[in-house]
Structure 1
Amino acid sequence: MGSEPTTRAEPPGPGRYRFGGIVLDAAAHTLTRDGQPQALEPKAFAVLLELVGHAGELVGRDQLLDAVWGHRHVTPGVLTRAIAQLRTALDDDPHHPRYIQTQHALGYRFIGTLEPEEPAAAAPMPACEPSDPATAGDPPPQADRRTAAYPEIERRRGLRRQPWHWLAFAGLLFAALAWNAWQRKADEAHRPVEASIAVLPFTTLSDDQQDRYFAEGLAAEMLNALAGVHGIRVAAWIPPEAVDRKLDIKALGAKLGVATVLDASVRRDGQRLRISARLSDTTSGYTLWSQNYEHETSAIFDTQTEIANEVATALVGVLPDAGASLRKRLTPTRNVAAFDAYLRGVQALMQPGEHGSAALGHFQEALAKDAGFARAQAGICRIEAWRFEAHHNADAYENARMACLRAANMDPGIGIVQLALGDLYRANGPPAKALEHYRLAEADPAVRTDAIAGQASVFAAEGDMEKAIETFHRALAIDPDDAGVHAALGYQQHLAGNPREAITSYRRATTLIRRTPTCGAPMAPC
């Protein structure tokens, strides 16, 4: 044509993308960063392809779930885990992203700059080069003369070679697809299907190690709050002594049977409070979310609520009530001093051999600082009911009755209040009233195990051993590591004339560290 060809940057070819030292090759199913291969699960790789294929656009969470998982039998938490893997592989900071931007509650956007594909270094094709008049008359090299002389021979050789090349390529492609399918099935087989979490006891970094009650109390409150979120299965409370901190996240997840683990460190220095929280995926070992908080101690309720919201959103997506129920659970009082005393009382109840005296004093202190603290009042009701049951002291019963009435007037809707009323009526009748309150308490996941065990105790007191044993087993189906329920079950099996089963239950109880009492005095049969 006579005009010089113009050079312009072409968009990346289909299936191969470059950005910031990263090469994403869909055909080869590889991701490299600065020349180093990055391991990715198949689903995470597919998410990245979907985002890069819509570079600059907001891709909704549902759109990603549909495109990658088919949106069947999965929770939004799988997408959060995939994004966390991608951030690790891309070295992308979620707070200052270069590649994947989070649009809270909506989806994600690829914000990296796609670079033109580098041309391959190869000799120019003769047909594409302009003729040089100076060399147009020169004879071709020997090889070229031979090819020109026997074009039909060369064509037939190519046809003979071509089927073998295709067969080899097809074999490699089939092997790659088979490996990916096997890997995908293996990933899905080892990943818990439902959104599930274990809340580890938070560790204290304070100079005063006696402050551990505060850190562990925050973890227990977090566990109870998350247990109330629909769609999340929360593992039972794990006593600090039972947590093997030497295990990595994958091993810990396999041991606990959960998809994620929440851990945190807490440091109090005067009126300053620092919490470092982390949510980890137990299948890949990746950190899904982490955040440091440093505020005045008075902000503890807001901080706890923010952590719980982040965790719940990561596992099941945006909550329909925008986290209002979590805020209510995690703000039982606005008085920090009352909350501190309450946590001391909860910690005291967890100690082996504790019959409530120390806990009672802490709950009374909490009420002195906040007269409307319903949970502290319910705690007093339960302790006094246990005292009456153990010693048949009329004063204890009256104290329990008044405490329960006060708690019911403060907030009858919370499970711990209904549980306390169930304890009261179980101790001194009528049984039907106890069952009524226990069944109301059962609706609260935070106290469900205790509520079911309370019903079993009522059936046992009425002489219905078969129903009592069946109901204790129902409680253990929810929390298989509750030593008190195992002990109570063992006692009923002993009374029913099943010594072998009773011994098995008692042995299980003795291997578990005692937690919050379920019925009667700690470790007492009921």
Structure 2
Amino acid sequence: MPYRFDGFELDADRVELRRHGLIVPVEPQVFALLLLLVENRDRMVSKEEIIGTVWGGRAVSDSALSSRIKSARRALGDDGPERRFIRTLHGQGFRFVADVTAAEPRALPPAGPSPEAPPPPVSARPSIAILPFRLVAASELHPALGEAVAHDLIVALSRLRWLFVIARGSSFRFRSGHPDACRAGRLLNASYCLCGIVETMAGSVVITAELIDTRSEEVLWADRCTGPIEAIHALRARIAASVIAALEIQIPLHEAALASVASPHCLSAWSAYHLGLRHLHRFTRQDNAVATGLFARALALDPYFVRAHAGLSSTHFQSAFLRYSGDAAGDARAARAHAERSLDLDPLDPVANFTMGRAFWLTGEVDRSYPWLERATALSPSFAQGFYARAWADAITERDRTGIENVEMAMALSPLDPLHYAMLATRALTCLIQGSTGPAAAWAERAAQSPGAHVMISLIAVIAQTLDGNRDRAAIWTADVRRRGGSSQAHFFASFPFRDGPLRRRMAKALGDNGIA
């Protein structure tokens, strides 16, 4: 809808600023800033809200914000001492103060969109085509090996639910010769293409896989597996697991990167969701709030978006776990409600089952989480975070043997996972259950030093180092806890509800010995 004020027209549909009918050139971020201020002209818009909308919540300097405000004022001829349009409320934010009328949108000309206007957002979820892998020096015993590997991947990737996988009948039309993966992907209307090579020689086989963005022709990820020819079936399973775990990270990261440079008003539901995931995994109060807004935006665009409900369940889980809001019980109820809604929409989505199981942790009902977590990994056998969650539950309930197997599976499947630090910390807890304080201290140290590790991981390091007799290291991590706002035993044992017994008492004493009451 166009907004008119003092000879200007701000047209959200065409993404244009016009003055007396003539286009005023403005950068996309400046346009987004103007639109945000005009749409909220009845109130002040805070700096945090501007950053959350215009920059997607990314960390930006005050000078970057000031630069965009200055550019917006210059476009409106409002850069003199008298502020007729954008007023600064020092230390708080900005407000649009001119009189504005909302006009009926003009009919678009039949000739199509202006080349300067951004394309309309794509509402569909990310799509991928898996081409038959090309055979090199193929064995007569395995003439269809390349097609078999691709078929394995199509079946496995179809379980992910969030990724649209082109059917075998279409992608296998490119089985002959040396097809151009990017051209094939574009012909199949797939934003990503997975292709590879199978090479057999001297009794061994090498399988190489590449993930390509068909729009930019960029290789986003590649990997290879090697093994004896007689173990080909195990090798096929291994490459499938490796590909799935990698794509669970690589595609969302790439989609978030693309969304972060797009105009906020052009975000599709899936773009907003992937950008929200990036903020969610930073584990800070501010990023969690930005993620909540982005997931909510995705739901506003698509009310039946399963993963957006799962995302909101995760933001409320994080808020309850780390006590962001001061209403842990309310956050726990919201985490459960959004998990239930995601399951209502798609009971076969592994992430929906994962969030449902994890919601029980917030109420100390860890045993009730098992059926949901086991279902999540059954639906997607390469779902690393599902195996990590099972390992965490095993550790809290002191089922050490299974916990070790599950956490090692999680780390093997996804060594670059955003929750890798939590996997390391869970491995430390399994060692504490066994009484192996030395390995526990080593695992906890690695966990606390990992990117993204929150304050609860530092508390685990305090406990493990103390129980292993490393007072100096325990003191360092205690100082880290205090630097980050501190915590308490009540908070720790609410988040990690170990049963009352010798281990819990030793952990409580370790915290107490370091002044954490």
TM-score normalized by structure 1? 0.40
